[in-house]
Copies of this chain bind each other. A is one copy, B any other.
Amino acid sequence: MPMPQHVAEGTGQLKIDNGFTIGLDGYKDARLESARSRFIGTLSRVTGIPYHNDVPSGEPTLIVKTTGPSDAIQRVGEDESYHLEVTSTHALLTAPNPLGAMHGLQTFLQLVTITPEGFAAPAATIDDSPRFPWRGLMIDASRHFQPLEVIKRNLDGMEAVKMNVFHWHLSDNQGFRAESKLFPLLTGKGSNGLYYTQEQMREVVAYARDRGIRVVPEFDMPCHTTAWFAGYPELASGKGPYAIETKWGIFDPAMDPSRESTFEFIGKLIGEMTTVFPDAYFHVGGDECNGKEWDANPAVQAFMRAHHFKDNAALQSYFTARVQKLVAAHNRIMVGWDEVLQPDTPKDVVIHSWRGPEGLARAVRQGNRAILSNGYYVDLNQSAAEHYLADPLGGAAATLNPEQKKLVLGGEAAMWSEFTPSEIIDSRIWPRTAAIAERLWSSEDVRDVNSMYTRMAAISDRLVFYGLHHQSFSWPMLQRMSGQQDPKYLAVLASVVQPPVGYQRESLKQYDWHSPLNHLVDAVPPESNSARDFDNLVAAIVAGTASPDEWQQTKDQLTLWRDNDAKLQPSLKQSDITAELIPVSQTLAQVSTIGLRALDDLQNHRIADPATTQADTETLKAAEKPQGVLRNMIVSPVEAMVKAAAAQKP
């Protein structure tokens, strides 16, 4: 995962044992050497076989033959292809440059699995290259600061699934996270001491480049800028004083476009940051200006009249145009969110669509290039399937002509961090981002959801060996909630609930920067595997295709859930974090009891009593509503069973 463009299966398999070696051939450089070492380390972790970094003496098992160098600064659209041949005795990976070689190494690693004869890679011939040149992950390091090791291990995960852009959201109302030597108060008063030094950011750039990943920094403006104003209130349109915002949402503060000094400041900052970030692209945000500070500022109003700006959109358009020139002056190409698109936007500006595919199509029709994040917001707790089926060339973009389609560069998974301190963030990014990575790399017609889930489960296990915490994060949180109690019954409840989808969570409970994110909603992954498995069982039962074993599994599962409440209840009162789960656990028992009744009716071809059906349906309807800021994911399959039990023919 992502699925390669062409795979031809061969005969037999290549054993990966103690004697396995890897050697470089053709063009060599430090990055390839580093990729080789990293491959050896990953192969050791994936297999548990101790490989060492020594250069092999004989002919290596895997030869990596690279034709020539990559660009000094990784370019959008640079060749990323590779060719991989695995036979029962050897493997040969060829690539025009190190980018392709690195992708091929990741493919090889994915081929290695345990077999009855030991670890092995199946014989195969693979030709591969990406569908889109821009396959990104955005991490918001402002709302919750993400320490360096979080960034690094996520870059490792990106490499595993062949993503090539790390979009670093470095400033927002809640924090300015990038050290500026020209403007030290940006972090001095705008970060609570939580920021990246320039040395650390350069380290990330090098770390990413080593993995074939570009780093695009984002400094969001003219809004989402409260943290800037804490140190530099003169940039703002309002009166201030300003302090770091500790709430979530959309806020009024906005830069003052009527003053030349604002642009002088921005120009200098961009200049400074381009010394840290060599990438050709520079993201300036531009989203969600409510214009209230502009409306309230007489000088800004006078400026608008003088320039005949009819509304705030026109004012922002002016601002964007000025900033674009500053970006261009530093030899960078501007990227901005949907809102920056105006009729006169220069054609090289890249539009980053977050509001919907229409924005992307509009930008492209206007001749701009675009990338899609709408549909890829991994903070919203949607299913992997939903992300997977969102295509950069789907929706409104499906009607674009072939030339226009070429302007769609790809997309980015977006990890906004209101609810993701570093303890949790990996679980929101992975493994679902692997499904997005496949969407952006693989052929448009690779869209079988069941196949995706099977392969995503495999890559999820692999990503543990890349150092990601998406599987291990949960248990310690359950222990923390449980105190002296054994968390095993809490874990049963945890396995069937999910966080609310979209922005519903904020409507259920008040949250801000000080809220402890240590509840069950934080400790469960966005998608319940148990519930999905159960859903599949119920689908088979309702369709009449279930095997006796599947009937039994369904019954066992429902019995376990029904009986869990009695075991879990006494401990829930022992901790104030679990007290809110008292009704959640009760509901699970209730829903499971209904499920067992419906299952029994179905198994015995007994038409459910209409009164019972109606009462159960109402109970289930109520159970659909979130409790304890959690969704119970077995309600929907149980509803399906109740419906089927009632609809049986006599």
Q: Which residues of A contact B (CB under 8 A)?
A: 18, 45-50, 52-54, 113-118, 192-193, 421, 423, 458, 461, 464-465, 471-472, 475-477, 479-484, 513-518, 522, 573-577, 579
Query: Given A47-B518, A458-B484, A480-B48: A575 and B193 within 8 A (CB)?
Result: no
Q: Are B477 and A471 in contact (CB under 8 A)?
A: no
Query: Given A114-B575, A476-B464, A476-B465: A514 and B50 within 8 A (CB)?
Result: yes
Across-interface contacts of A575 in B (CB, < 8 A): 114-116
A465 to B458, CA, bound (A): 27
Q: Are B115 and A518 in contact (CB under 8 A)?
A: no
Q: Are B476 and A461 in contact (CB under 8 A)?
A: yes
Query: Given A114-B576, A116-B574, A576-B117: A48 and B423 within 8 A (CB)?
Result: yes
Query: Given A53-B193, A116-B573: A514 and B18 within 8 A (CB)?
Result: yes
Q: List 30 A-B contacts (CB under 8 A).
A: A45-B423, A47-B480, A47-B516, A47-B518, A48-B477, A48-B517, A48-B518, A48-B522, A50-B516, A50-B517, A52-B192, A52-B193, A53-B192, A53-B193, A54-B192, A113-B483, A113-B484, A114-B481, A115-B575, A116-B574, A117-B576, A118-B576, A118-B577, A458-B484, A461-B476, A461-B479, A465-B476, A465-B480, A471-B475, A472-B475
A600 to B115, CA, bound (A): 41
Q: Which residue on chain B has the smallest CB distance to residue A461?
A: B479
A279 to B185, CA, bound (A): 41
Query: Given A192-B52, A484-B113: A516 and B18 within 8 A (CB)?
Result: yes
Across-interface contacts of A48 in B (CB, < 8 A): 423, 477, 480, 516-518, 522, 577
A471 to B476, CA, bound (A): 9
Q: How far is the CB of A144 from chain B (nearest CB, A)?
A: 8
A47 to B483, CA, bound (A): 10
Across-interface contacts of A574 in B (CB, < 8 A): 114-116
Q: Are A480 and B576 in contact (CB under 8 A)?
A: no
Across-interface contacts of A465 in B (CB, < 8 A): 476, 480
Q: How far is the CB of A56 from chain B (nearest CB, A)?
A: 14
Q: How far is the CB of A375 from chain B (nearest CB, A)?
A: 30
A49 to B574, CA, bound (A): 18
A192 to B55, CA, bound (A): 11
Across-interface contacts of A517 in B (CB, < 8 A): 48, 50
- Give this chain's copy count: 2
Query: Given A518-B48, A576-B117, A577-B114: A464 and B483 within 8 A (CB)?
Result: no
Q: How far is the CB of A203 from chain B (nearest CB, A)?
A: 16
Q: Are A513 and B476 in contact (CB under 8 A)?
A: no
Q: List 5 additional A-B contacts (Cβ < 8 Å) besides A49-B516, A114-B481.
A: A48-B423, A49-B518, A54-B193, A116-B579, A471-B476
Across-interface contacts of A477 in B (CB, < 8 A): 48
Q: Sorted from nearest, which 5 A-B pairs have the closest CB atoms?
A: A48-B518, A114-B483, A114-B575, A49-B516, A118-B576
Q: How far is the CB of A457 from chain B (nearest CB, A)?
A: 9
A459 to B49, CA, bound (A): 32
Across-interface contacts of A518 in B (CB, < 8 A): 47-49
Across-interface contacts of A193 in B (CB, < 8 A): 52-54
Q: Are B50 and A421 in contact (CB under 8 A)?
A: yes
Q: Which residue on chain B has the smallest CB distance to residue A472?
A: B472
Q: Which residue on chain B has the smallest CB distance to residue A477?
A: B48
A117 to B50, CA, bound (A): 49
Q: Which residue on chain B has the smallest CB distance to residue A514?
A: B18
Q: Are A114 and B480 in contact (CB under 8 A)?
A: yes
Q: Which residue on chain B has the smallest CB distance to residue A574?
A: B116
Q: Which residue on chain B has the smallest CB distance to residue A572?
A: B116
A45 to B517, CA, bound (A): 11
Q: How far is the CB of A475 from chain B (nearest CB, A)?
A: 7
Across-interface contacts of A458 in B (CB, < 8 A): 484
Across-interface contacts of A513 in B (CB, < 8 A): 50
Q: How far is the CB of A123 from chain B (nearest CB, A)?
A: 18
A115 to B471, CA, bound (A): 27
A512 to B513, CA, bound (A): 52
- Find A115's partner among B421, B472, B479, B576 (CB 8 Å cutoff): B576
Q: Which residue on chain B has the smallest CB distance to residue A37?
A: B193
A458 to B485, CA, bound (A): 10
- Find A116's partner among B49, B113, B421, B576 (CB 8 Å cutoff): B576
Q: Which residue on chain B has the smallest CB distance to residue A49?
A: B516
Q: Which residue on chain B has the smallest CB distance to residue A118?
A: B576
A483 to B115, CA, bound (A): 8
A193 to B116, CA, bound (A): 34
A464 to B52, CA, bound (A): 29
Q: How far is the CB of A215 from chain B (nearest CB, A)?
A: 24
Across-interface contacts of A475 in B (CB, < 8 A): 471-472
Q: Are B46 and A480 in contact (CB under 8 A)?
A: yes
Across-interface contacts of A53 in B (CB, < 8 A): 192-193
Across-interface contacts of A472 in B (CB, < 8 A): 472, 475
A341 to B149, CA, bound (A): 47
A193 to B53, CA, bound (A): 8
Across-interface contacts of A47 in B (CB, < 8 A): 480, 516, 518
A54 to B464, CA, bound (A): 34
Across-interface contacts of A421 in B (CB, < 8 A): 50
A493 to B574, CA, bound (A): 32
Q: Which residue on chain B has the smallest CB distance to residue A578?
A: B114
Q: How far is the CB of A450 from chain B (nearest CB, A)?
A: 15
Across-interface contacts of A461 in B (CB, < 8 A): 476, 479
Q: How far is the CB of A61 from chain B (nearest CB, A)?
A: 16
Across-interface contacts of A579 in B (CB, < 8 A): 116
Across-interface contacts of A423 in B (CB, < 8 A): 45, 48
Q: How far is the CB of A214 from chain B (nearest CB, A)?
A: 27
A480 to B109, CA, bound (A): 13
Across-interface contacts of A516 in B (CB, < 8 A): 18, 47-50
